Chains A and B, each alone.
Chain A
Amino acid sequence: EPEVTQTPSHQVTQMGQEVILRCVPISNHLYFYWYRQILGQKVEFLVSFYNNEISEKSEIFDDQFSVERPDGSNFTLKIRSTKLEDSAMYFCASTLSGGGQETQYFGPGTRLLVL
Chain B
Amino acid sequence: AQTVTQSQPEMSVQEAETVTLSCTYDTSENNYYLFWYKQPPSRQMILVIRQEAYKQQNATENRFSVNFQKAAKSFSLKISDSQLGDTAMYFCAFTSGGTSYGKLTFGQGTILTVHP
Contacts and interface: CB of A to CB of B under 8 A. Distances in A.
Chain A: interface secondary structure? strand
B28 interface: no
Contacts of B104: 33, 35, 43, 45, 93, 104
A103 B46 CA distance: 11
A105 B37 CA distance: 10
A65 interface: no
Contacts, number: 75
Contact of B96 (A42, A91, A97, A99): A99
Interface residues of B, number: 29
Interface magnitude class on chain A: 20 to 34
Contacts of B43: 37, 89, 108-109, 111
Contacts of B44: 106, 108-109
Nearest to B95: A100
Contacts of B102: 31, 33, 48, 95, 97-100, 104
Interface of B: 32-33, 35, 37, 42-47, 50, 52, 91, 93, 95-109
